[in-house]
Amino acid sequence: MEDQLKYELGILIFVLILARILYLIHKITTGFSREATSKRTLPCKTIVCIGSGGHTTEMLTLLNTLTFSKYSPRYYFMAKTDTTSYAKVKTLESVKKQNDSYKIFEIPRSRVVGQSYLTSVFTTLYSILYCIPLILKIKPELILCNGPGTCIPICLISFLLKAAFILDTRIVFIESFCRTQTFSLSGKILMYFADNFLVQWPSLKQRLKRAEYIGQLM
């Protein structure tokens, strides 16, 4: 009898979590989560997902326009092998002169360019497991990302923790400048999980009704 009760309780919890996930996805895809529920008065604990190459340049260009005191502390997540982006982030922070308000985390890549989708399932899973304790420790209020595969584990973990009422994180995705007609793989995934989906070309705005056209960052 006790085992049956535990089994039924487990099913109930699963159904409730599934319902919560579907509710959040519906809210996001219909555009009802684009606006913040209340005006902030305190700095926002922010995770910034850094890719490589053009992704890094675009993200740093965006960050350079922000008032850092409003997005603090900042936690940069990037691939362990991306030494170039690491140096660029350090340079940006030194220019902004708020060195005590940020931290850089180097995580495993979920997928590298040219990697097969089959093997990327396993590398993404490893990256997710690696990031879970970091996300739980940071408890981010905002995630900024613009397409690198590095952002997928971070966003999925935060979304699931939000579904479980553990976190309340807003995900903002900016589609890459080079995407003029079609969405990136990250964009195709995060259009179901990102509260705000920003595009840099009007043609992409036409492809996704809830997308927000912001013009070109570059």
**Cα–Cα distance list, 49 to 38, 140, 155, 189 (Å):** 25, 12, 9, 15
In this structure, what is the dihedral angle of CA atoms 101, 153, 131, 113, given to the nearest 10 degrees?
-90
Would you say residue 1 has pLDDT above 70? no
Predicted pLDDT of residue 196: 95
**Of the listed ranges 58-62, 95-99, 195-199, the one predicted with least confidence:** 95-99
Distance CA(120)–CA(116), nearest Å, equals 6
Report the predicted TM-score, pTM, of the whole model to 2 decimal places: 0.89
Would you say residue 120 has pLDDT above 80? no
Would you say residue 140 has pLDDT above 90? yes
Tell me what the mean pLDDT of segment 163-176 comes to. Answer: 93
Looking at this protein, which amino acid is placed at residue 61? T
Would you say residue 136 has pLDDT above 70? yes
Tell me what the mean pLDDT of segment 188-210 comes to. Answer: 93
Structure tokens at 138: 């940071």
